Amino acid sequence: MKHLSLLSIIISLFFLLFPLKTNFVVAEENLSLNTKYYVLIEPKSKQVIVQSNPHEKLYPASMTKMMGMLLILEAIEEDRISFEDQVTCSEYASSMGGTQIFLEPGEVMLLEDLFKSVAINSANDAIVCLGEHLEGSNDNFVKKMNNRAKELGMNNTNFKNATGLDDKEHYSSCYDMGILASELLKYDDIVLKYSSLKEDYVRQDSSSPFWLVNTNKLLGHYEGLDGLKTGFTSQAGYNLTATAKRNGVRLVSVVMNEETIQKRSQDTCSLLNYGFSLLKSETIFVGEEVICNYNIKNTLNKEIGIKVKENINVILDKGEKKEDLKIELVMNKIEAPIDEDEEVGYIKITTKSNRVYTFKVYSTCKVEKISFGQIFSNNMKIIFS
């Protein structure tokens, strides 16, 4: 494979005989829902499966808290805070009202318990307390929420608070909430651990334990559903961002401005059923599989293996085949030295229905840079051979 002196190279492993088909997303005529505002998304590719009025600005209510949860988890990943932090509640956070765990001013609670209270019980005082701990003040936290929304391309979103309480300048859309949920699911091992619980406790070892009850009434009643966030105010109506996984396929649905909890649940089930009827999961590579070999110039090793560490699964339409995929290797590191198991780039997989996935790739062995003396010796051997 010819070496190119570029910072980043793209090597096509497979090519399509025909151009990729573009997916035009429209409201499905046979999908009769109660609400006019909904979206169904495949979260890894963030591709919309079906939608109606996806960019209409609406009151998101407590679905707002997904952004706060995302910021907390990103900060934990960056080692700026920890689930083991002891967080002190301010007088402002304790005054939130609405759905709450009745934090007292000066009360100290484990950050993990505050996060759990938001994920399960949608506690207003808990999310404000978390935001103040992370950013120093509630205003700073809300500013950070808006900045992150812009980074994610949530173009029809503006946050005025961390709780989701109604404000004429506090709005979002079905599409934006779906994109936010998809980003949040990058931390699915943590988020779903709590959002899937019907109930739990905080202050469990104290004299006044508090019972957390999940506001998502579909848990346990829809196969594979394990999250994500409800929302309700008198102006917002009944909202729900839901996620479910079946046969390796995970979906995110968002319904907004529903009249009742029952209609919210009906529409969520209809959307998810529709998505699962269309899609399938396929394993493209298995963990530790060497997907190709690559030449590194001026090294002792003329060729190294490029591998994946985990199973590589993508979501296809049920009519698609693996042979329809376009797979590209993008090398970020093309010069020695390279350590064994070092991340060296990624593979980009594009489906016929135009879903795009990226996965990290790693070297199978250590690659050492060849010295001038070794280059000279090798050249002499070639000359006199």
**Catalytically annotated residue among 52, 90, 117, 122:** 122
Looking at residue 379, its amino acid is N
Q: List, in sequence order, the alpha helices (H) in the chain.
A: 65-77, 91-94, 111-121, 124-135, 138-151, 174-184, 188-195, 261-278, 372-383
Report the distance separating Cα 111 and Cα 132, nearest Å: 12
- Give the model's pLDDT for residue 247: 97
Is 62 one of the catalytic residues?
Answer: yes
pLDDT, averaged across the chain: 89
Q: Catalytic annotation on 253?
A: no
The pLDDT confidence band at residue 234, using thresholds 50, 70 and 90, is very high
pLDDT of residue 308: 97
Task: Say what the pLDDT of residue 377 is.
Answer: 57
Cα-based distances in Å from 113 to 83, 184, 212:
8, 18, 11
Q: Does the pLDDT at position 237 exceed 70?
A: yes
3-state SS, residue 59: coil
Percent of all residues in the chain with a pLDDT value above 90, rounded to a whole number: 80
pLDDT digits (tens, 9 = 90+) for 111-147: 999 999 999 999 999 999 999 999 999 999 999 999 9
Tell me which H or E stretch contains 10.
Answer: strand 9-12
Lowest mean pLDDT among 57-66, 133-142, 335-344: 335-344
Each residue's pLDDT tens digit, 270-299: 999 999 999 999 999 999 999 999 888 777
pLDDT at 297: 76
98 touches 210 (CB < 8 A): no
Structure confidence at residue 21 (pLDDT): 36
Q: Count CA within 13 A, CB hemisphere, residue 38.
A: 30
The pLDDT, as a whole number, for residue 3 is 34
| Beta strands 326-331; 343-350: pairing state | antiparallel
Flag whether pLDDT at 108 surpasses 50.
Answer: yes
Residue 43 preceded by cis peptide, ω within 30: no
Q: What is the pLDDT of residue 349?
A: 97
- Yes or no: say if 195 and 120 are a contact pair by the CB < 8 Å rule: yes
Establish whether 65 is a catalytic residue. Answer: yes
Q: Which of 45, 52, 62, 94 is catalytic?
A: 62
Please state the length of the chain.
385
Confidence of residue 318 (pLDDT cuts 50, 70, 90): very high
The whole-angstrom separation of Cα 256 and Cα 9 is 43
The model's pLDDT over 179-224, given as tens digits with 9 standing for 90+, comes to 999 999 999 999 999 999 999 999 998 888 999 999 999 999 999 9
Give the mean pLDDT of 245-265.
Answer: 98
Residue-wise pLDDT for 10-33, tens only, equals: 333 333 323 333 333 344 446 899
| Banded pLDDT at 378 (limits 50, 70, 90) | low
Residue whose C-alpha is closest to residue 94's, from 109, 75, 72, 116: 109
Residue in 117, 120, 149, 147 with CA at minimum distance from that of residue 135: 147
- CA 27, distance to chain mean position in Å, is 24
CA dist., res. 174 & res. 63, Å (int)? 10
Q: Is 24 exposed, middle or buried (0-12, 13-18, 19+ CB in 10 A)?
A: exposed
Question: Would you call 379 helix, strand, or coil by DSSP?
Answer: helix
How far is the C-alpha of 335 from the C-alpha of 191, rounded, in Å? 38
Q: Identify the pLDDT of residue 379.
A: 53
Whether the per-residue pLDDT at 68 is higher than 70: the answer is yes
Neighbours of 275 (CB within 10 A): 22
Instruction: Using the structure block, give the residue that is written with the tokens 């689930």.
Output: 83
The pTM for the full model equals 0.87
Contact predicate 355/47, CB 8 Å? yes
Question: By the 8 A CB rule, do 138 and 131 touch?
Answer: yes
Q: What is the pLDDT of residue 196?
A: 98
